Amino acid sequence: MPISSQLRRRTEAWIAADPDPETRAELQALLDAGNEGALADRMGGTLAFGTAGIRGVVEAGSNRMNRAVVIRTTRGLADYLRATRPGSGPVVVGFDGRLSSRDFAADTVGVLAAAGIPVRYFPAVAPTPLVAYAARVLGATAAVVVTASHNPPRDNGYKVYDANAAQIIPPVDAGIAAAIDRVGPANEVPRVEGVLEGAKGQVRPIEPVIVSRYVEEVLALRPEVEADRSLRLVYTPMHGVGARLVERVLRPAGFADLHVVAEQAEPDGRFPTVAFPNPEEPGALDLARALAARVGADLILANDPDADRLAVCLPRAEEWVMLTGNQVGLLLADFLLEHAGPGPTPLVVNSIVSSPMLASIAAHHGARFEATLTGFKWIANAALDLEAAEGTRFIFGYEEALGYTAGPVVRDKDGISAALLFAELAARCRAQGETVWDRLARLYRRHGMWASTQLSLVRPGSQGAAEIAAAMELLRRRLPERLGEVAVTGAVDFREGAEARPRWLAATPLVALDLGEAGRALVRPSGTEPKLKIYVDRRAVVGPGEDPAEVEAAARTDADAMAADLARFLGLA
């Protein structure tokens, strides 16, 4: 089938405007081969900019991540900043270890410099939380991190922070997106070359003292408690950029018996030992588990490649068991609240799809609890708003997807400080003659045990989108009477009533079903993938003499069955 004239014109115009000879040749080869399907996919739209910035496969085309897209995106950001914040502070720029990240960062800094905007940049790879920290302490008007976090190796992304050092939220994202739409061809966007080779005018590298300050502030987050830090730790940065900073906080804290997975210790954007560099994926922690078995470790800590998430594994019955994000978050929240000390009312925050058990833990410690929409941008902004409005003191925030942050250091996920704090928690347990499992069981007995499960229903294409929309529309008209053996007692539809809620609970396609004392279920479409997601949090009571692990397993089986029931009700099973 011949390529349509419209698609050919659009492709030829993009090739002519692409400053990168490699991606020009890549797109031209598809054009010469008459590959209409591939061209339509790559040129049928433009990679959309939103609250998470942009992220996609690194290939040629307007609907992919490449230098031309990064250049146009950065010019739009520059135009937005010049129009809304003239004369403000610098833009901080950092990048991770993916193969294209340094080139994308160089284009980002070069475009900002040509637009007359001062820039402070990291001259080498840097963890995402360190870039967010630098944005805060340097009073940046914005920050950009070139990273795809734990996405597959072929991806990359462009993440933007606002002047408050938290990720952008509406309406800023829409303002930047509109400015990007007005940018002309990439080869017409002015940019300064060679900007990552040293100071040039208003462009300066970030000094090592900023990194040292970050380390000091992270170390200061530790509660002053008696702890046995002779624990033997295994750590992996998953071929990412976390190892040096993790060692810089763990070793001075007293964790000298630290073993780093050698095969994954250095940044490598090819991710040669894992199919998918996400610690939640099957097999991703096999090397860490093998090393832990060889050295007789007490604890495994793992960051994702940009070090903003943390995974934790503990030994149990001759195997290494990975804690859920909720379990890690609840343990850390309780630990930090227990030792919060005097001062303003402590505040803890989690995302609405994370465990409701945090509310009970907060109440036990006399703390303020708040839930937000999904995404750390909302957790950070809610914390800032509540501190300003109510005089609370933000202690901890988390989301179930392995993201955590403590105190005022970083206004985003921080897998480095979380690694230190979890090691401290484990060391405290050892000093008290118990295991982390014992501490978790104590929380379950005090607050009830919450088993959380998630069911993702994949529905690709336009027909799939219609099925997802129909399922959400069904919940407007009626609710299931029961899920499993549990009655549905009510619901909150977050598409409505936003005017009566704070901005971190804005209108969004999310429906929460109330299951009374048994828990709750939530339904929402994914914002980035063709999926409808169902979350069930099933509450159970751990009775005297009962094994918490057995109660949890039974509750999780129940939660899985309830999620399947809800999928059938929605017509998607």
Structure confidence at residue 529 (pLDDT): 74
- Catalytic choice (149, 355, 417, 452): 149
Backbone angles phi, psi at 125, to 5 degrees: -55, 145
Res 51 pLDDT > 90: no
Structure confidence at residue 197 (pLDDT): 84
Instruction: Give the strand pairing for 119-121 and 449-458.
Output: unpaired
For CA atoms 183, 189, 195, 196, give the dihedral sign. positive
Structure confidence at residue 133 (pLDDT): 98
Of all residues in the chain, what percent carry a pLDDT higher than 70?
A: 100
Q: Are 512 and 479 in contact (CB under 8 A)?
A: no
**CA-based nearest residue to 63, from 11, 99, 100, 101:** 11
More confident residue, 485 or 313: 313
Mean pLDDT of 513-527: 93
More confident residue, 194 or 515: 515
Mean pLDDT of 212-231: 97
Res 566 pLDDT > 80: yes
Through-space distance between the first and last CA atoms of the chain, rounded to whole angstroms: 37
Could you give the CA distance from residue 289 to residue 314 in angstroms, rounded to a whole number? 10
Structure confidence at residue 1 (pLDDT): 55
Question: Could you confirm whether 149 is annotated as catalytic?
Answer: yes
Mean pLDDT of 465-483: 94
Neighbours of 229 (CB within 10 A): 18
Q: In degrees, to the nearest 5, what angle opens at C-alpha 7 toward C-alphas 2 and 13?
A: 125
Q: Where are the alpha helices (DSSP H) in 141-198?
A: 172-181
Structure confidence at residue 460 (pLDDT): 85
Give this prediction's pTM: 0.94
Domain boundaries, the chain: 15-22+45-206, 232-446, 448-569
Could you give the CA distance from residue 364 to residue 330 in angstroms, rounded to a whole number? 13
Same fold, 15-22+45-206 and 232-446: yes
Structure confidence at residue 380 (pLDDT): 97
Q: Per mean pLDDT, which range of 192-196, 341-345, 494-498 is the poorest?
A: 192-196
Among the four given CATH numbers 3.40.50.300, 3.40.120.10, 3.30.70.2190, 3.40.1010.20, the one describing domain 232-446: 3.40.120.10
Structure confidence at residue 248 (pLDDT): 97
pLDDT band at 298 (very low <50, low <70, confident <90, very high): very high
Res 199 pLDDT > 90: no
Q: Is residue 379 helix, strand or coil? A: helix
Q: Per mean pLDDT, which range of 169-173, 193-197, 283-287, 524-528 is the poorest?
A: 524-528
**For 345-395, how does the pLDDT look when each residue is reduced to its tens digit (9 = 90+)?**
999 999 999 999 999 999 999 999 999 999 999 999 999 999 999 999 999
Instruction: Give the strand pairing for 91-95 and 142-146.
Output: parallel
Reported as type and span, the H/E element at residue 84 is helix 67-84
Average pLDDT of the chain to the nearest whole number: 95
How far apart, in Å, are the Cα atoms of 314 and each of 319, 442, 454, 484, 542?
8, 17, 22, 32, 21
Could you give the CA distance from residue 482 to residue 95 in angstroms, rounded to a whole number? 48
Q: Where are the alpha helices (DSSP H) in 128-240?
A: 128-137, 172-181, 208-219
Mean pLDDT of 250-264: 97
Instruction: Give the strand pairing for 393-399 and 346-351.
Output: parallel
**For 114-145, how does the pLDDT look when each residue is reduced to its tens digit (9 = 90+)?**
999 999 999 999 999 999 999 999 999 999 99
Does 3.40.50 match the CATH number of domain 448-569? no
Does 3.40.120.10 match the CATH number of domain 15-22+45-206? yes
Q: Are 131 and 92 in contact (CB under 8 A)?
A: yes
